[in-house]
Structure 1
């Protein structure tokens, strides 16, 4: 019996790696003869870079870059086998790097993310995946492009730094200084949101408020973004403003697609391909996946849905262990997940559940596996 273990982390309590260890222990208790293969997975959000580096035996490189509000920060990205790199935008330009009272998308810049990309290019990397969740910025990717050598000039021909306020000021875009290696590099935007750059569901209106924008600021950012997008299309010849995902990360998705030819892919799909999940499915009898909380959103680009769909296509049953269930979780059954088990075994507070997360997870895994063993006995009768 071969069992694959592929769960997302439980944020704040269990890492993906620790979950694999607990599942291996549970399998050893219930199916001692079974062969297990654990893998670290994520959906493109927090922890994706660390999971991919550990799973693929890569390495982490840390460099000092410009943070979202201009102060230096230490940011890391992953170097993967085969001349690839994975960058989490949040490492350099993430919202958690900015105290709540200082959040201001008019001033925030994605420059640090561009510095990470530039560093990877200068190390000879020619296949770069960028996970764009959790940004503090709404600069249309101007900052990142500026770090890569693109010059944004105002009406006086003076260079702009590349922040939200500069969107309305840019008059000329000069691509002559773009890092020469960019043209030889394959870029992938790891992104689950499908928002366009402009309009009511665009970057400024949808995500601007959570980054500190008031209504007047949202309208100002939208007008500037529209001007910037039109100019970018004139310069690049690429119409990307209304492409799905263009509004991700305050418009960084747009910049990567329009200026660097990046391809957008859902986060979990990218991760599963990177770790060769389909090949590992061959010969498997069962897959155990999961996440910290399962609800209606779990069916849209989250780890259990991505793993479940792959299992469904391969004809391999998949089950999930989760920390909690909320409204709409039943949708996951349409995505190849056969059963869901919760770790919470009684009335308890969230604090207690997290404090005893390892014991609760191990108990849930054993309960689930014993149910599977019961089903196998019933089938054999």
Structure 2
């Protein structure tokens, strides 16, 4: 028997790599001679770089950078020869800022730019950048500044690249950033198709979950449209995908020439998931919270679709399940034989998160015995 395990991360509990390890342990508790293929996945957010690094068999390089509020932290990137993989979540992700400390108006992507710069300094000529889980809404200006760009006021003074200061910016010199990445191929993997601005843009759709109020949404949205015009790139504001990660995708694609790709679809090709599924008897996948959004471009839905195409039945595991009958039916149509909640609802959340790997291992073993 051969089983493929391809989980996403269980946020605040396990990375995708740790979840895959726990699933494999649960399988061997019941089927010690079973062949297990571990293929951790991510839709471009938390754990993306780690998952790709594992699939490539690449080395992991740590980088001293900053979080979204400019505080020191350690992030990293995977390096395999001249190709590197980076994700925004490991440096300026929302999970690195405690709920009471979150301030999107003072947050930026500067930390991501520093990780990208480190990958370039390591002689990477091809960059795969995962976007997702962002704490900022700075349209990627912080990242550009870290790569050498300058945001200037009317008198030529430097302006901090955060939403609270966007109205002070009168010109942006992006050429140093373009030169820094000249000749480097960039592919961006994200899980959203929203444009930079407008009613479906970065500020309007994702701003509220980061703390933007209604007046601030209108202000930031307008400033991003104005600054795109300052850059001579106003034609990009309505393009699908440019609103990913608070507009960071706009900076990467419009300013730096990156190609935009759907996160999970791109990742399944990168890690060779289809090849792993060929001839498999079962797929195990999962994520921290399984809900209606899990079916809309997220990692689990992408993995299930691919398994369904390969005619491999699947079981889905989650820390928390909140799905209606219709959503469950859609999962069943994708070949999911069962949906398993790994935690006990009566257990305190903090305990469940801490014991996530043990819970997942036991849930997998129990499901296979069933």
Same fold (TM over 0.5): yes
- Shift in Å at residue 277 of structure 1? 1.3
- Shift in Å at residue 272 of structure 1? 1.8
Q: Could you say which residue in structure 2 is the equivalent of 1:349?
A: 347
Q: Could you say which residue in structure 1 is the equivalent of 2:252?
A: 256
Could you tell me how far apart the structure 1 residues matched to 2:20 and 2:294 are?
Answer: 20
Q: Could you say which residue in structure 2 is the equivalent of 1:56?
A: 56
Could you tell me how far apart the structure 2 residues matched to 1:171 and 1:359 are?
Answer: 54
Q: Could you say which residue in structure 1 is the equivalent of 2:334?
A: 335
Q: 1:141-180 to 2 correspondence within 5 Å?
A: 141-180=140-179
Distance 1:93 1:343, change over 3 A: closer
Q: Could you say which residue in structure 1 is the equivalent of 2:82?
A: 83
Secondary structure of the 2:42 match is coil
- Shift in Å at residue 90 of structure 1? 3.0
Could you tell me how far apart the structure 1 residues matched to 2:31 and 2:223 are?
Answer: 60
Larger radius of gyration: 1
- Shift in Å at residue 2 of structure 1? 1.9
Q: Could you say which residue in structure 1 is the equivalent of 2:109?
A: 110
**Residue 77 of structure 1 contacts residue 85 of structure 1 at CA under 8 Å; is this kept in 2?**
no
CA displacement, residues 3-40 of structure 1 (integer Å, 9 cap, x when unaligned): 21222243344554454444444444544543222222
For the aligned residue pairs, the C-alpha RMSD in angstroms reads 2.8
TM score, norm. by length of structure 1: 0.84
Could you tell me how far apart the structure 1 residues matched to 2:311 and 2:36 are?
Answer: 18
Distance 1:120 1:356, change over 3 A: closer
Distance 1:251 1:317, change over 3 A: same
Distance 1:10 1:208, change over 3 A: closer
Greater relative contact order, per chain length (Cα 8 Å cut-off, separation 6+): 2
Q: 1:242-321 to 2 correspondence within 5 Å?
A: 242-321=238-317
Could you tell me how far apart the structure 1 residues matched to 2:24 and 2:136 are?
Answer: 41
Could you tell me how far apart the structure 2 residues matched to 1:365 and 1:99 are?
Answer: 31
State the number of aligned residues. Answer: 366
Distance 1:111 1:311, change over 3 A: same
- Shift in Å at residue 227 of structure 1? 0.6
- Shift in Å at residue 296 of structure 1? 1.4
- Shift in Å at residue 249 of structure 1? 1.9
CA displacement, residues 337-370 of structure 1 (integer Å, 9 cap, x when unaligned): 33333335x7733546556655543443234324
Distance 1:82 1:279, change over 3 A: farther
**299-308 vs 33-42, which moves further:** 33-42
Secondary structure of the 2:11 match is coil
Could you tell me how far apart the structure 1 residues matched to 2:303 and 2:21 are?
Answer: 19
**Residue 46 of structure 2 contacts residue 90 of structure 2 at CA under 8 Å; is this kept in 1?**
no
**Residue 138 of structure 2 contacts residue 248 of structure 2 at CA under 8 Å; is this kept in 1?**
yes
- Shift in Å at residue 125 of structure 1? 1.0
Distance 1:288 1:95, change over 3 A: closer
CA displacement, residues 124-163 of structure 1 (integer Å, 9 cap, x when unaligned): 1122222222323222111211222223333223343322
Could you tell me how far apart the structure 2 residues matched to 1:256 and 1:358 are?
Answer: 35
Distance 1:214 1:81, change over 3 A: same
Which segments of 5 or more consecutive residues in structure 2 lack a partner in the other structure? none
Could you tell me how far apart the structure 1 residues matched to 2:21 and 2:359 are?
Answer: 14
**Residue 305 of structure 1 contacts residue 336 of structure 1 at CA under 8 Å; is this kept in 2?**
no
**356-365 vs 270-279, which moves further:** 356-365
Could you tell me how far apart the structure 2 residues matched to 1:106 and 1:359 are?
Answer: 39
**Residue 321 of structure 1 contacts residue 342 of structure 1 at CA under 8 Å; is this kept in 2?**
yes
Secondary structure of the 1:189 match is strand
- Shift in Å at residue 275 of structure 1? 1.4
TM score, norm. by length of structure 2: 0.86
Could you tell me how far apart the structure 2 residues matched to 1:13 and 1:99 are?
Answer: 15
Distance 1:175 1:338, change over 3 A: same
